[in-house]
């Protein structure tokens, strides 16, 4: 953690001092990022940045894109949507970024998308499964990861495979949360599975949510929203003696398992990138090699880090397609739409005019008795 802070903190500080000078320097391609480096989801955000920077630093070491180095200017939003919106405006208007890239979580990503698209700036690989990243169609939104809808479908399939008849779904008290609930109910109805909604209101206490789960007596529970409150809820539920099957979407899986300790055993996660320890997968092998060369010493592979790395690969594919010489926001937007199918070596993303689905890759893992992830 300290190594990450000391190295990345210096890089970010240097970018902020340079400010709009980056935009005026034709030797650089300036990319903006607003992401949670502090707060309850900071470990997830930091791992994402580490993975993305490992790839970008490798590209820069090899000469950059058309001879121009990529300057990733990163601002901390603490996982807060209002701060993410402010950061996005600042990066576009002050630093003159050619694109926004790589935030985390639904609220900040949706807020960043609005600010970016209102100003004609692409947003590439904001790491949220929220419906708003794809619906309604936005020509400036280029998600990489699969949507939560695909993850919910996988978790519901697991529930029906296990013979469960009743599941509880924890969701945020927001428009996005209610959209997720509607999708979950639609998926569950098709499989004759009963859904019990549990609303996570602002300021909700883990003990209250755990009591709601205990009263509902579901066969399984899964979530949308902050992994910090969900992990605290699982811990409280276990303390109360609840023995239901807990499942979760991908965001912050490693961080959540670490927070839960022994209470994480048996927890099932969906994942939207390949298993980051499976070096037989080309994307994973390249990611681990990049960590060894360009990440702070001791950095371990993680799902969050691999998502950042894969997202940066898509970003660079778009920059290369647009060409460094006459690169602009408009040319990058057009280039992203002409990428077609991009094989990352373990997952594939797709973009075309009028359709930006990104990836459909969804896998599942379980926390084993030794606390490690198993497939």
Q: How far is CA 284 from the centre of its chain?
A: 17
Cα 115 from Cα 100, distance rounded (Å): 10
- Report the predicted TM-score, pTM, of the whole model to 2 decimal places: 0.91
Give every residue of the chain whose pLDDT is below 50, as ranges: 1-24
Cα 269 from Cα 256, distance rounded (Å): 10
pLDDT tens string 269-309: 999 999 999 999 999 999 999 999 999 999 999 999 999 99
CA atoms within 13 A on the CB side of 337: 14
Burial profile 288-320: b = 16 or more Cβ within 10 angstroms, e = fewer: bebbeebbbeebebbbbbbbbbbbbbbbbbbbe
């Amino acid at each position: 953690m300290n190594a990450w802070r000391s190295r990345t903190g210096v890089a970010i500080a240097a970018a902020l001092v340079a400010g709009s000078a980056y935009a005026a320097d034709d030797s650089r391609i300036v990319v903006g990022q607003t992401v949670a480096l502090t707060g309850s989801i900071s470990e997830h955000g930091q791992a994402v940045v580490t993975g993305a920077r490992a790839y970008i630093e490798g590209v820069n070491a090899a000469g950059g894109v058309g001879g121009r180095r990529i300057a990733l200017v990163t601002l901390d939003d603490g996982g807060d949507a209002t701060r993410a919106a402010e950061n996005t405006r600042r990066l576009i208007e002050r630093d003159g970024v050619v694109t926004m890239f790589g935030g985390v979580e639904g609220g900040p990503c949706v807020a960043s998308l609005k600010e970016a698209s209102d100003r004609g700036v692409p947003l590439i690989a904001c790491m949220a499964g929220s419906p708003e990243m794809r619906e309604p169609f936005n020509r400036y939104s280029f998600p990489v990861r699969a949507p939560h809808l695909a993850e919910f479908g996988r978790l519901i399939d697991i529930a029906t495979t296990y013979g469960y008849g009743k599941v509880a779904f924890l969701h945020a008290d927001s428009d996005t949360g209610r959209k997720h609930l509607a999708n979950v109910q639609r998926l569950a109805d098709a499989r004759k599975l009963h859904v019990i909604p549990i609303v996570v209101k602002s300021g909700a206490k883990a003990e209250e949510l755990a009591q709601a789960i205990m009263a509902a007596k579901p066969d399984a529970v899964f979530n949308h929203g902050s992994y910090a409150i969900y992990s605290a809820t699982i811990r409280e539920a276990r303390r109360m003696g609840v023995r239901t099957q807990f499942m979760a979407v991908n965001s912050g899986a490693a961080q959540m398992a670490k927070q839960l300790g022994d209470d994480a055993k048996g927890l099932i996660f969906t994942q939207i990138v390949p298993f980051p320890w499976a070096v037989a997968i080309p994307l994973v092998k390249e990611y681990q090699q990049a960590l060894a060369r360009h990440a702070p010493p001791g950095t371990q592979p993680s799902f969050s880090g691999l998502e950042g790395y894969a997202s940066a690969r898509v970003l660079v594919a778009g920059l290369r397609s647009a060409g460094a010489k006459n690169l602009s926001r408009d040319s990058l937007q057009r280039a992203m739409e002409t990428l077609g199918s991009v094989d990352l070596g373990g997952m594939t993303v797709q973009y075309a005019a009028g359709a930006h689905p990104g990836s459909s890759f969804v896998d599942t893992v379980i926390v084993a008795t030794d606390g490690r992830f198993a497939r």
